[in-house]
Structure 1
Amino acid sequence: MALRAFKATAMFPFRRRAKPSLSSLSIPSHFICPISLDLMQDPVTLPSGITYDRRTIELWFSSGHRTCPVTLLSVELDDQLLIPNHSIRRMIQDWCVANRSHGVERIPTPKTPITSLQVSDTLAEISAACRSGDRLLCAELIALLKKSAEESERNLRCILSNGATPVLAAAFLRFKTENFLSAFAGISNPDDKETILQLTSDESLKSIILILSQGSLSGKHNAILVLKELLVAVHETEQAITVARTEQLVEKVVMLIKNPISLESTKASLVAAYYLSFTQATKLAETGLVPILLEILVDAEKSLSEKALAALDGVLEEAKGRESAAEHALAMPVLVKKVFRVSDLATEFAVSGMWKMCRKWGEGEEGRPEKCAVEALKFGAFQKLLLLLQVGCSDRVKDKASELLRILNGLEGKEECVETLDFRGVKRAL
């Protein structure tokens, strides 16, 4: 039952894409993985004697199973568990060559996975090179480790499980260059908060900001990935304010949002901006972040929308952010639009953003909240908030939506909804 359920839910991106001429071709049964029911690419044998494709059996074990899927015998996971079946692999390769005319491509010879002993030895050499200040040797060893990590997910897991994160962090702290930061970004474990917090020193932060400013595109990309994890790690700690106030940090994060390198780096920058907004919302607004976020939100996909809305909601916490949003024509239309059709998380941030803009701001700001509320009413916020309460939402969203409805209800007659205006002058049948 477990194997049947696993087959029904697992995704196998390496499944053979059969051409029409292959439809009648019979694959020898001992070439087929018992899990994926497809031609094995990298056959390995368990102690039970059953041979599987390496990636499918690793996915089976990573799903929490600790048995051989066919025999149901218990297995203990270690580096020696999966024995490469070279004879079957060569037979499959010969069969592929023999059936080339049917559109079958020869499977490549897989590279031998890295072992825990090899990882431990390499990490020990990297540590020794760091202590002696041998930057060239350290870089060469890290490059080999990075290459192994890129070869397979299995290699990456092996490297991480053997303590690579603190070693790579130490290498960056020792030499503080783009290459070492890139290696840390590519291999480190984001859950290792203790190690990531080691990068909060003034010199380390200055090096990261220098790379964000003057590094290559890949260097900037890796720097923002590391910075994002660093800001997540220090959130709600005593170091959060100190890190957020690092000179030019806010400016460099906003720069990467304004001038994107890649979708991944933009998302990382938005997350960084969200965490910076807890202490630097005013400064973020002063750097012109609000208009940039609103432009992004016009046609952003789900994940990007969620992160941009989170950053916007954070900046709207302060008066400067609300002022900037109130002066922008897209603010209310975008927030009202994002209440639905994205996700529950996006809904929460969109409602929170409207709530902050439509409430009383403070002394000297009379009139602005009402102007924002009229804008919200104009673009159909009242109807959407009513619908939101009907379909259900979290208590936190419900409270803010209810307060917004009370505010908007008090403005009845001051502004017609856009939907109503669209049909003004249309003669209706009696």
Structure 2
Amino acid sequence: MDEIEIPSYFLCPISLEIMKDPVTLSTGITYDRESIEKWLFSQNNNTCPVTKQVVMDSELIPNIILRRFIQSEALSILYNLHLSGSGLKSLLQNNIELIQSLTSVMQSGSYDSRVYAVMFLKSMFEVADPNQPISLRPEFFHELVDILNDQISRKVSKATLKVLIKVCPWEKNRIKAVEAGAVPLLIDLLLDSSDKRASELMLMALNLLCKCAEGRAELLNHSAGLAIVSKKILRVSSTANESGIRILHSISKFSATPGVLQEMLQIGAVAKLCLVLEVLEVFDRGSKTKERAREILKLHARAWRNSSCIPAPLLASYPS
């Protein structure tokens, strides 16, 4: 690999190391905070290292514009290096501070740096060991939710959804994502989504979040939660069908109050389950999705079987 030349504006004039926290002196020269503080306070110098002018005012002013620019450029370089899977896995396993830094960039970085932060996170988590739990801070999930809400671009939104899916098999992360407001946002985005892959990813994320009681409660508290999940089944793809049925299965098995069961009838979710049995009996007889739909209908047969809300042609599909 060719050696990468570090742009001069990355470097502190004193140490020639990459600046982490650029600050500007009263002389107008920018340094890395750690280096200039050591020069002025630890080494008792009173001049600007570059201009040699006496520093009358030792206040260090954060150079926010340069910091964001450096972050954006550095992330661009890192992302475009196209590190190997083993290299990315090593970064993830041995440098939790990197994730915290990327979280900070997502929070306060420029447009470009937020984009590169998400894309780089996606690359790292795609190669993460699925058997190794990854515990993340609450602010990580708040930033993912904010980026999804901002709708920067379809590519960035899909990358953000993939990150969310990769980190939510673990219950602690699921709860943090729910507390960050992921469930109602995903439902709102799903309501407006006409993109097949985006809809699949949103349903996959919702399925993971509905594995915890907090996630199911959030979905049921949303006026369109059950309705949009039911609507997407048989309208998007087999992947979406699987996730949608899994969500309804979690609700039916663990959160099925009389009110919830009645709502599922009224919005057509029960009829949709009967239709799934009818359609998949023809096109995918051994489908696990079909078997989950059958299990849901059997589970609440007493409440649903004789309901007038199920269209007569679909009653024949109701499992005995």
Question: Does 2:213 match 1:319?
Answer: yes
How far apart are residue 198 of structure 1 and its match?
3.0
Secondary structure in structure 1 of the residue aligned to 2:226: helix
Secondary structure in structure 2 of the residue aligned to 1:359: helix
Question: Does 2:174 match 1:281?
Answer: yes
Q: Is the 8 A contact 2:271 2:311 kept in 1?
A: no
CA 1:282/1:336 → structure 2, altered by over 3 Å: closer, same or farther? same
Equivalent residue for 1:266, pick from 157, 166, 173: 157
Question: Does 2:256 match 1:256?
Answer: no
Q: Distance in 2 between matches of 1:218 and 1:418?
A: 51
How far apart are residue 403 of structure 1 and its match?
0.8
Question: Does 2:255 match 1:387?
Answer: no
Q: What pairs with 1:47-196 in structure 2 (closer than 5 Å)? A: 120=1, 123-124=2-3, 126=5, 177-188=71-82, 192-196=84-88
2:295 partner amino acid: E
Q: Is the 8 A contact 2:119 2:156 kept in 1?
A: yes
1:396 partner amino acid: K
Identity of matched residues, %: 23
How far apart are residue 133 of structure 1 and its match?
6.3
How far apart are residue 219 of structure 1 and its match?
1.0
CA 1:193/1:237 → structure 2, altered by over 3 Å: closer, same or farther? farther
Q: Distance in 1 between matches of 2:229 and 2:288?
A: 17
Q: Is the 8 A contact 1:373 1:407 kept in 2?
A: no
RCO (CA 8 Å, sep 6+): is it higher in 1 or 2? Answer: 2
Secondary structure in structure 1 of the residue aligned to 2:234: coil
How far apart are residue 276 of structure 1 and its match?
2.2
CA 1:202/1:391 → structure 2, altered by over 3 Å: closer, same or farther? same
Partner of 2:191: 298
Q: Is the 8 A contact 1:232 1:275 kept in 2?
A: yes
Higher mean displacement: 274-283 or 319-328: 274-283
CA 1:351/1:221 → structure 2, altered by over 3 Å: closer, same or farther? same
Q: Which structure 1 residue ranges, 4+ long, deviate > 4 Å from structure 2?
A: 132-136, 413-416
2:146 partner amino acid: M
2:150 partner amino acid: N
Q: Distance in 1 between matches of 2:263 and 2:301?
A: 13
Q: Distance in 2 between matches of 1:335 and 1:411?
A: 21
CA 1:135/1:282 → structure 2, altered by over 3 Å: closer, same or farther? closer
CA 1:398/1:252 → structure 2, altered by over 3 Å: closer, same or farther? same
What is the TM-score with the length of structure 2 in the denominator?
0.69
Q: Distance in 2 between matches of 1:269 and 1:314?
A: 15
How far apart are residue 232 of structure 1 and its match?
2.3
Secondary structure in structure 2 of the residue aligned to 1:411: helix
CA 1:231/1:378 → structure 2, altered by over 3 Å: closer, same or farther? same
How far apart are residue 311 of structure 1 and its match?
0.8
Q: Distance in 1 between matches of 2:4 and 2:209?
A: 46
Secondary structure in structure 2 of the residue aligned to 1:223: helix
Secondary structure in structure 2 of the residue aligned to 1:399: helix
CA 1:330/1:237 → structure 2, altered by over 3 Å: closer, same or farther? same
How far apart are residue 416 of structure 1 and its match?
4.7
Partner of 2:259: 371
Partner of 1:347: 241
How far apart are residue 397 of structure 1 and its match?
1.2
2:274 partner amino acid: L
Q: Distance in 1 between matches of 2:4 and 2:109?
A: 27
2:112 partner amino acid: S
Q: Which structure 1 segments of 5+ residues have no match?
A: 1-119, 137-175, 362-367, 421-430
Bigger Rg, which one: 1
Q: What pairs with 1:12-27 in structure 2 (closer than 5 Å)? A: none
Q: Which structure 2 segments of 5+ residues have no match?
A: 20-69, 313-320
Q: Distance in 2 between matches of 1:416 and 1:373?
A: 14
How far apart are residue 411 of structure 1 and its match?
1.2
Partner of 1:217: 111
Q: Distance in 1 between matches of 2:309 and 2:181?
A: 30
Q: Distance in 1 between matches of 2:166 and 2:174?
A: 9
Secondary structure in structure 1 of the residue aligned to 2:215: helix
Q: Distance in 1 between matches of 2:155 and 2:311?
A: 37
CA 1:284/1:415 → structure 2, altered by over 3 Å: closer, same or farther? farther
How far apart are residue 313 of structure 1 and its match?
0.6
Question: Does 2:130 match 1:236?
Answer: yes
